[in-house]
Structure 1
Amino acid sequence: MKEWKRHAAIVLAAGKGSRMKCDVPKQYLSLKGKPVLYYALKAFEESFIDEIVLVTGVGQEEYCQKEIVEHYGFQKVSHVIAGGKERYDSVYRGICALEGADYVYIHDGARPFIDNALLCRARNTVEQYHACAAGIPSKDTIKLINEQGFVTGTPERKYTWIIQTPQVFEYTLIRGAYEQMYQNMPAVQITDDAMVVETMLCTPVKLYEGSYDNIKITTPEDMVVAEAFLNAEYPLL
């Protein structure tokens, strides 16, 4: 008989969204009458995920608890906690709140268009490979440049992927990687959770199929695209 495993999610909503050029953090902007953050939480709430930790900006915990978690009836959100100075600080705080989880799904709250099919692909991949991240093949040619802006190389397009979230890991693996990082902070900038695992543990991260719809809302133009997605493809959301 297969042993039951506990799958938990960390939804990151601590970003300031400076590129959005507005006073409201991007995760709280209204998208078809609901905050952007609502859609990611709804996807996890209606999936096989057992528990959700919501990481917010400092001072936004009560607002998120009352106006989002309680208002929309999200039963799986077990903790609403304040994030840290950097993204990786917020992730680590979420990891520490998930004692007892077997797998951790780390997701940007500003990516509203995940669905159960994508999450099932993530589950199947992490159970086999222990560490994985959503990604899609790049549609464009990628150039490598130097500090002066000159091209130094052109990798083959078939080997270039755009990385998304959720990024998913065995709990002990991702917690161990983060704890090693804090003990020996690398000189390079840490940009995602897969990089922490790759750098600190030399553990390979398997990519699974994400979605071209799985956009991250970062600029005003992204809101226009998101509205179009909702109107055309997600009429019930």
Structure 2
Amino acid sequence: METRRKIAIIVAGGSGTRMGSAIPKQFLDLAGKPVLWHTIHSFVRAYSDMEIVLVLPEAHFDYVTPWLGEFNTVAPVTLVKGGETRFHSVKNGLQQVDGPAVVFVHDGVRPLVSTSLIQACYETALAEGSAIPVVDMKDSIRETDGRGNRAVDREKYKIIQTPQTFLSEWLLPAFALPYDPLFTDEATVVERQGHSIQLVPGEDSNIKITRPLDLTIAGALLKDIQ
């Protein structure tokens, strides 16, 4: 099977607003390490030749420089300044991609992504061009508008996770497009180029830490994983 250069663009641009913390959520303590440390570790553990591009506000560089050297990677972790929106942050990270590669775009506050999911995304993207992890909706949902609300079939909907994974020859041209507010994630940008999106099974444990309860859950899950 073909092998490709592997590049993980980890986007960590959030603040601590919803966490009620002065410290940005990606730097809060999780089992003795910053949340973002665990996220990077997940990718380094998945493939020995993984390259890491870390995109975050320039003001946050000092949070990560003391411990980035802990990662024994094929290349030093590259720090890239974030942009005005997620689209612009990912675009800045993609400037580090030259030549054929499989590119993972991952939320910095999803620290529990497993080796098996990262590898499944790589293999699917290599074969199909893209790989987007999704999980089923477990709650009933209703659609609301100005006239009222109605029940909808949750079986028709999926919850999107990261890493959203693509061949570089799909992702780079897509991010050369002008920014559109309808670009809610990387898949919507690639779709604009006419590519189809391949879904892969995600993981319930691959949670996004945005509120204090999420940090508590992540701590409990991490104990089970270890």
Please say whether Structure 1 and Structure 2 have the same fold, judged by a TM-score greater than 0.5.
yes
SS of the equivalent of 2:84 reads coil
In 2, Cα distance between equivalents of 1:197 and 1:33: 37
Counterpart in the other structure of 2:68: 69
Aligned residues of 1:135 and 1:164 also touching (Cα < 8 A): yes
Counterpart in the other structure of 1:16: 15
Counterpart in the other structure of 2:35: 36
> Which residue, out of 216, 234, 237, partners 2:225?
234
Report the residue type matching 1:127 in the other structure.
L
> Which residue, out of 167, 171, 177, partners 2:174?
177
Structure 1 moving runs of 4+ over 4 Å: none
In 1, Cα distance between equivalents of 2:147 and 2:215: 30
Counterpart in the other structure of 2:155: 158
* TM-score of the pair, normalised by structure 1: 0.88
Aligned residues of 1:102 and 1:171 also touching (Cα < 8 A): yes
Name stretches of at least 5 consecutive residues in structure 1 with no aligned partner.
none
Cα distance change, pair 62–102 in 1 and its aligned pair in 2 (3 A): same
Deviation at 1:194, TM superposition (A): 0.7
> Which residue, out of 172, 178, 182, partners 1:189?
182
Aligned residues of 1:5 and 1:102 also touching (Cα < 8 A): yes
* TM-score of the pair, normalised by structure 2: 0.92
- 72-81 or 99-108: which moved more? 72-81
Aligned residues of 1:132 and 1:167 also touching (Cα < 8 A): yes
Deviation at 1:152, TM superposition (A): 5.0
Deviation at 1:10, TM superposition (A): 0.4
Cα deviation, 1:137-178, whole Å, max 9, x if unaligned, reads 1112232222x3722561x32221110000001112111111
SS of the equivalent of 1:19 reads coil
Aligned residues of 1:8 and 1:101 also touching (Cα < 8 A): no
Identity of aligned residues (%): 32
Counterpart in the other structure of 1:54: 54
In 1, Cα distance between equivalents of 2:204 and 2:147: 28
1:49-198 correspondence runs (5 A)? 49-64=49-64, 66-70=65-69, 72-75=70-73, 76-146=75-145, 148=146, 150-152=148-150, 154=152, 156-180=153-177, 182=178, 185-186=179-180, 188-198=181-191
Aligned residues of 1:136 and 1:211 also touching (Cα < 8 A): yes
1:212 aligns with 2:210: no
In 1, Cα distance between equivalents of 2:183 and 2:3: 33
Cα deviation, 1:10-51, whole Å, max 9, x if unaligned, reads 011121232111110000000111000011111111122531
Name stretches of at least 5 consecutive residues in structure 2 with no aligned partner.
none
SS of the equivalent of 1:59 reads helix
Deviation at 1:82, TM superposition (A): 1.1
Deviation at 1:101, TM superposition (A): 4.3
Q: How many residues are paired up?
A: 224
